[in-house]
Amino acid sequence: MRNFTVTFHLQLILMKKFLPVFHLCCLQFFASAQNLVPNADFENHIGCPANYDDFYPCVDWEAVANTPDYFHTCSTGPNVWVPLNGAGYQIPLSGNAYAGTVPYVTSGANYREIIQAQLFSELAIGETYHVSFNIVSGFNINMNIATNNMGVRFSTFPFTLNTPPPINNWSHLYTDLVIFDTLNWVNLEGTIVADSNYKYVLIGNFFDDDHTTLVQVGQYYTRAYYYIDDVCVAPSEDQCSWRVNTVTLESTHAWKIFPNPCNDLLHVTGGAGKAGFANVSNVLGEQLLYKEWSAGENHFTFNTLNLPEGTYMMLIEEGDKVVTKPFIIQH
């Protein structure tokens, strides 16, 4: 009892002088035990965004590739207000704010907008982490393309606008599905086993134009745009509270086919380096093309020039895993 009393009075004395520091440390400890992403819902800000490209008011996040946007209800600029803004109309998944990025434009090769945050604590090597974030497509006369490949990359060091992350067809987790929804938030989630003490999390499209699937959803064909809200990296999915329409993220080892739609050649890449086979069937289930490969191969092509236009299904079997990939042929 005496020890408790002494400690208690000592804490009172220290708190008068060190309360802000103590409070910050407690917040960091709590966050590290839960969601490791600071300002995960983009609510904290040091000012109100005034226009496009005005990302700096968003606390703990930064632009590391081109000019992502920050949207908040406090904005007096019509382009970055919430819910109606220059990218469309969208209510936040939570709170009063969200981020926005361009994963593809027709006018600039491999143009990408990417955001980054430093985690509360680095990932532990060998530990499994649940990763999730939420996106919804913007839509207006200039933003009318839907894409796949929105994903997450981790890094042990920070990127900057002067040294942006490479667009090299590699991401820890990404969605191979084209996200069309302009109304409902879509939760993208997956797990990773940390192979390094990662300190930073980045969100965007890390695949180049040739490896990104595009679907035109408007009259014009200019750019894709996605709002982003409620990001989570945690030891357990139970510690990520935002669960809406859920899509499971794939790792870079997942099989990818491109381009889609294709004309004369369909490229297939990815896998875990095991022996396997793939076949292509039409909508009637008739097998039209077949390919086998040996262990260590991770890229091959199908010649589709002589196949009629339409929708096809590719079945890929590698080891004990089987995946199917739909694609379209357009000549």
Q: pLDDT tens digits, residue range 162-175?
A: 999 999 888 899 98
Q: Is the pLDDT score of 270 beyond 90?
A: no
As given in the structure block, the two tokens for residue 87 are: 């990218």
Task: Decide which of 2.40.50.100, 3.30.360.10, 2.60.40.3080, 3.40.1160.10 is the CATH code for 256-329.
Answer: 2.60.40.3080
160 vs 64: CA distance, rounded Å: 5
Q: pLDDT tens digits, residue range 195-223?
A: 899 999 999 999 999 888 888 776 666 88
Top CATH class, 61-248? mainly beta
Contacts of 165 (CB under 8 A, 6+ apart): 64, 65, 114, 153, 155, 159, 202, 204, 206
98 vs 95: CA distance, rounded Å: 9
Question: What is the average pLDDT value for the chain, to the nearest integer?
Answer: 83
Q: pLDDT tens digits, residue range 87-121?
A: 999 999 999 999 999 999 988 889 999 999 999 99
Q: pLDDT tens digits, residue range 125-148?
A: 989 999 999 999 998 767 788 899
As given in the structure block, the two tokens for residue 28 are: 């960091």
What residue spans define the domains of the chain? 61-248, 256-329
